[in-house]
Structure 1
C-alpha cells in the first residue's frame, strides 16, 4: 500500500444524512505515494496528520465532513497539488493550507456554506486559473485575485464588494455574479477585462462603473430593481443587452452600440421612452410590461430588416405606434396595450401574427390587412366598431368580447390559389359580439362557406375543419 498512487473511493455510502463508511480510531495514515485521491463523503473533520501529501496532484473530497484540511501545526507540503475539489463540504471553514500550493490551477469550493473568508495572500497562487465559489452563502470578503485567473464563479455568495484586482484580470473570460444580494456596485478602477465576452450582473446592483469591459458581447443585468440609469458608455462591440425587470430604470443611453442585435427590456416599468434612433442591425426588441412607455421612436428604422418580432404586451401607456414599422416584421404582440387607439395605416406586408387582446381603446384596424396574416387576436377590444376584409390565409381569428363590433366587411371574392400548402384547421370566433348586425352575420357566414369551398378546390385529402362561432343567437357553423 505504500506505493499506491491512485485511491478512488467514489461511493454511494452517504444515504439520508448517514455516513456509512467509518474510519478506525486513530486513523492517521494514507499512502505517501498518492497522486490522485478521490474520496467523496469523507467522514472525518480533517485529513490524517501523518499523511505526507508532497506527491498529491489531485484531491477530490466533495460532500465531505471536513472542517479544515489539516489540524493546525501539522507540517504539510502541497507543491505538487494542481486541482482540489471540496464542493458541498458544508462544515469547511478553513482553507488556509491552500496558500502552500504554488502550482494549484483549479479550486472548487461550491456550496461550502461555512466558509466566511479566503486567505488574504490568495493572490500569490500565481498559476490558479479557475475558482468556483458558487453558493458559498456566508463568504463576505474576497481577497485580491491572482493575475492568471480565467474563470471565477461568485453566484449566491454574500460578498459586499469586488476587489479592484478583478477589474485588472486580463485573462478572465468567465465571471458570474448572479444572486449576490449584498453586492451594490462594481469596481470603479480602470477596466482591463479584455477577454471577458459576457458579464452577468446581480439583482442588487444600484449603479454601474464608468468603464465596462471593452470586449463585452453580452451584458446581463436582469432583475436589478434598484438600477435607475445607465450612465455609462456601453462597449462598442456589445451585441446583447438584457435589462429585464429593472423596475427603476427610467432611461437608456442616447446612443446604443451600432452592432446591438438583442435588446431585452421586458418588465422595465419606469422606462418612459426609447432612444430616438435604434441600431439598424437589431433583430429582437422585447418591451413587454414597460408600463410607462408612452411612445416608440417617431419612426423605427425601415432598415431594421432583421427585426422579425416586436413584443409590446402590457405597455399600458402606449398610445400610438410609429407611422412605419420595420419591413421584416412577422410577429407583433400588443396585448393589454390599454391606451392604444390606432395602428399604422399600413402594416408590414410579411406580418403573420398580430395580437391585440385587451386593447380596449383601439377603435379601428387598417383598411387592408397583410395578405399573409395567419393569426389575428382581438379579444376584448371593446372599442372596435368594424372589421376590414379578413385575409384568406387567416387560420386563427378571435374577436370574442368585442362588444362594440357592428360591421364586418364582405370577403366575397374568388378563393386564391396561393397558400394551398398551408391549409389547416381554421377558427373564427365572434363570441359575445352583441352588436353585430344582420349584414355582418351574413358576411361572416359567406366567408366561412368560401373557406370550405377553397379546401374542396384544392382537393385536400383529409378535410380540415372550419369552426365558426357566433353568439348573438348562439349560431354555430362547422365543416369537417
Structure 2
C-alpha cells in the first residue's frame, strides 16, 4: 500500500524505515510484499526522500504504528531523512511503547554501533554541513548507538535471503498476536492501575540486582493479574529479553496437574520448544539448564499460593543471565518473604476510579437512565474492588431501573456468587481450622475496622496463638493492616466489606437452621433462635446490632460507629456498661437529662470524631474509668467539672479539639493519674499537669507553643517521657526544658522555624532519641556541657546544621548519627573518634561536606553517598561491615581499606569483615586503591572457600571495566 493511498487516521501494524537507494527496489519491497500477503498492514513510503525534515504524514504514520522495522544498510547513515526518521521512532518507543526490530542488511552491527566505515564517512560529511548544529549530529549518533544495541537480525545469518524475510514476518506475527491479545483483553481495565505500573517498572529498572524478583501482593479481585499482564506486555515487547514466559493460574494448575507439569511448561516456554520437554526445571538436563541460564529472561508466575510452588519454579534463578526479571502475583505475602527483592502491595481504587470503571462496563449507548444514587450504592457495595465493579456492572448493564433496585436489595443479604467464588479462594487456602475460625469470628463480631488489641482481647481463649493467627490473615489479604491508632503500636485492622459479607455467608451455609450454626449475627435470626429456644451447643458467637429503642440497661458493651442521633435515649441507664464507643457519631450530648449517670463499671469511652459533641457529662460516678478518647471533637468547648474522682484515668486524648482552650480545672482533679495525654490546639497546657506517669503531647498546625518568655516549671511533669512537637511553629526552646529529666524522646521534626536549642538540653539525663529532621533554620547544634549517658540516636536529616561542636564527645553512648541531606554541613569535629559506642554514620547527599575526621573503632556502617566534595577517607575501622561512597565524584584516595577487608583469619571465619563496599561513580579514585581492593577481595574469596562450604559473597560495585575483568578472573 503506498503512502499516498493511506489515510492519516488509519492505524498501521508495521512501519518500514529504510534507505531508498539501497533497498527500495530489492529487500524492502520483498519484505513489504510478504507482510501484505500475511494481512499485516504496513506503511512503506514509496516516494523519494526530499527536504531536510520528515513530513507530518510520515511522523503520524510512525506514531500510529505498533511495530517499526529499521533496515540498516550500507548508505543508511548518509541520509539525514533516515536519521531524523530513526530519532522519531526511538522517541515513540519511549513515549508509547513502539516495538523496534533492527535489521542489519549487508552491514555489520558494530559498524552501525561505532559509526565506522561508510557510517564514519557519512558523519564526517554531516559534521561539516551541520557545524553550527552539532547537537543534531550528536542526536543522530546516539540514536544509531541505541538502536544497534537492541536485539535484531543480521542478514549474514540467513541464506538464502527469503529466509530472513520469512523470519521477520514470523517475529512480527508473534509480537502482533501478543499485542492484539492484550489490547482486546485488558482494554478499559487499566483504570486505576497506571500508578502501580509506573511504580513497579521503576523498581525493576532501578534494581541493582543482576536478577530481580518482584512480588505483587493483594486481595482477590484487586487487579494483580491485570497488572502483571500489562507489565509482561510492556517488558516483553521491548526487545530486551531473549525468552519470555507467562505462567497462568499456578495455584489451579498445580492442583490439577502437579509441579512437574508446571516446570516442564516453564522450561518449554523459555527454550521456545513446542509441546513440553521431557525433563523438569528441578531435574533438568545439564544442557537445558545451560541453555536457559545463558538467556536474559522475563517470567511471570501468576497466582502462586505456596512457597513450595515458588521454590520449585524459580530454583536456581539467581544464575540466570544478568537483567532477567521474575514477577510473582499472590494473595499470600508469606510466599514472597524469602525470595522476593521487592514486595508490592496493590491497594484499592479510589472513589473516582471506581466510578470510571463502573461506568465503562455498566453503560452502553442503549442503557436505561439510572438514578445516580443507585450507582453509588453499587459502588459502595463493591468497596473499590475492581473485580466486583466489573462483575456487577456487566450484570446490571442494559437492565431496567426496577432490576437495579431488586438486585441491590438482594445484595444486602446474599452476596454475588461470581465475586464470592474468587474471594473465597483465600479462605479455602487456610490450612489451619483455628485460623479459619478466627476469620469467621472477626467477620461476625467486628465492624469493618477495629484495633488489633481489641480483637486479640476478645478472641483470646487462653491460647497464645491468636497473635499469629491474625498475622496469617493479614498475610493472606483477608485482613488489612492500615496503620497505628490511638496508642502507640496498636494497629488498626480493616476487613473489606466483601470479605466481611463472605465470612457471614460461609457461616450461613453451615446449616439451614440458624440455631445449628457456629455464629449468629443477623438480628432477625437471633430473635428467632431466642424466642423459639432453638439454639444448640454449636453456637459459639452472638453479635447483635439493635435499634436505640431496644437498648437494654444490662448492656456491658455498646459500640455504634456513626451513631445518627443527637443523644442516647433518656431511658437508657446502663449501670453494667463497661465500654461506650460512638466514633464519628452525631451526638451533641450523651444524655439530655441533667441527672448524673451511675456508671460504676465503665472503663472506656471513645467519642472520637463526634464533631457535634459540645460537652462531656459529669462522669464523677464512673470511678473505674481508665480511658477517654475525644480526638477530633471539634465542637467540644467544655470538659470542666466532669473529671473529679477519676483516680484510675490513664488515657485522655483531646487532640484536634480546636474549640477547647483551657484545661486548668481538669488538672486539679487528675494530677498524678494520667498515663498518656494528647493535646492539639489547646493553650495553657504545659504547666497545668504535674507528676504525670508518662505523657505524649502532640501539637499540630501552626500552634506556636513556645516563645522566648515561656517557662517550664520545675514541678512540671518530671516523669514526662515523650514530648512530640512535630511540625509546630516553634522558633526557640526555653532553657527550662532541662527540668524534664524523665524525658526519653524529644521529637521536633519539621519544625521549620526552629533556630536554636538551649545548652540545658544536656540536663535531659534520660533522653535516648532526639529527632530534628527537617529543621531547616537550625544552623548550630547546642554545646553539650555535661555527659549524656543515655542518648543513643540523633536524627538531623534535612536540617540546616553547618557543624557539630567538639563537646559532642559528651554524648558518650551515641550509637547512630543521621545527617543526610544537610546541605550546609562541611566538617565533623576532630574528636569524633572519642565516641566509643558510635556504630552508624549516615551523611548521604551532604553536597558541601569536605573532610571526614578519624573514625571511632566501634563503627560498623558508614554511608557517604553523593558527598561530591569529599576527596579522601581516613582509615576505615577494622570492624566496619558496610562502606557506601557511591557518587563521591571527587574522592581520590582512602588511607587504608585493607584493615577492614582482611582483619584476620578468625574474623573471616565468622564473616565479621567489610562485606559491602559501594564506590560506584567514584571515577577519580586512584589506581592503587582500586587494585588493592580487588586483590583483597580475591584473597577473601580464596580464604572463604578454604573455610566454608559456601563461598562468602562480598559486593563491590565499581564503575571500571578493568575491575569487571578482574572479578571474572577471580571467579
Measured against the shorter chain, the TM-score band is 0.7 to 0.9
Comparing 429-438 and 311-320, the one that deviates more: 429-438
Pair 1:94-2:597 in alignment: no
Q: Is the 8 A contact 2:604 2:626 kept in 1?
A: yes
Structure with more of its chain in helix, by fraction:
2
How far does residue 102 in structure 1 lie from its aligned partner after superposition? 4.2
Distance 2:860 2:712 in 1: 42
- Which residue pairs with 1:6 in the alignment? none
Task: Give the SS at the match of 1:336.
Answer: coil
Distance 1:110 1:224 in 2: 26
The alpha-carbon distance between structure 1 residues 336 and 390, as it changes in their structure 2 partners (threshold 3 A), is: same
Pair 1:207-2:710 in alignment: no
How far does residue 132 in structure 1 lie from its aligned partner after superposition? 2.3
Q: Is the 8 A contact 2:769 2:791 kept in 1?
A: yes
How far does residue 78 in structure 1 lie from its aligned partner after superposition? 4.5
* Mapping of residues 35-434 of structure 1, within 5 Å: 41-44=545-548, 53=553, 56=554, 58=556, 60-63=558-561, 65=563, 67-69=565-567, 78=573, 80=575, 83-88=578-583, 90-96=585-591, 97=593, 99-104=595-600, 105-111=602-608, 113-119=610-616, 122=618, 124-125=620-621, 127=623, 129-144=625-640, 145-149=642-646, 150=649, 151-168=651-668, 169-177=670-678, 180=680, 183-187=681-685, 190-204=687-701, 205-208=703-706, 210-211=711-712, 213-231=716-734, 232-233=736-737, 234-256=739-761, 257-277=764-784, 279-301=787-809, 304-325=811-832, 326-344=835-853, 346-366=854-874, 368-394=875-901, 416-422=905-911, 426-434=915-923
- Which residue pairs with 1:400 in the alignment? none
Distance 2:728 2:914 in 1: 44
TM-score by length of 2: 0.39
How far does residue 351 in structure 1 lie from its aligned partner after superposition? 0.8
How far does residue 160 in structure 1 lie from its aligned partner after superposition? 3.9
Structure 1 unaligned spans of 5+:
1-9, 24-37, 395-412
Task: Give the SS at the match of 2:760.
Answer: coil
Structure 2 unaligned spans of 5+:
1-443, 449-496, 502-520, 526-541
Question: For each residue in 1:108-164, what CA deviation from the matched residue of structure 2 results, as whole angstroms up to 9, or x when unmatched?
Answer: 133452432115x63655736335234444333132142333231223444442421
- Which residue pairs with 1:3 in the alignment? none
Q: Aligned Cα RMSD in Å? A: 3.7
941, 947, 951: which is aligned to 1:459? 947
Q: Is the 8 A contact 2:757 2:782 kept in 1?
A: yes
Distance 1:426 1:91 in 2: 60
Question: For each residue in 1:61-84, what CA deviation from the matched residue of structure 2 results, as whole angstroms up to 9, or x when unmatched?
Answer: 43374514555xx6x594945645
Task: Give the SS at the match of 2:746.
Answer: strand
Q: Is the 8 A contact 1:288 1:311 kept in 2?
A: yes
Q: Is the 8 A contact 1:148 1:171 kept in 2?
A: no
- Which residue pairs with 1:4 in the alignment? none
Task: Give the SS at the match of 2:722.
Answer: strand
Question: For each residue in 1:269-295, what CA deviation from the matched residue of structure 2 results, as whole angstroms up to 9, or x when unmatched?
Answer: 222222211642133232332431111
Q: Which has the higher contact order (CA 8 A, sep 6+)?
A: 1
Task: Give the SS at the match of 2:666.
Answer: helix
How far does residue 425 in structure 1 lie from its aligned partner after superposition? 9.4
Task: Give the SS at the match of 1:100.
Answer: coil
Aligned residues: 421
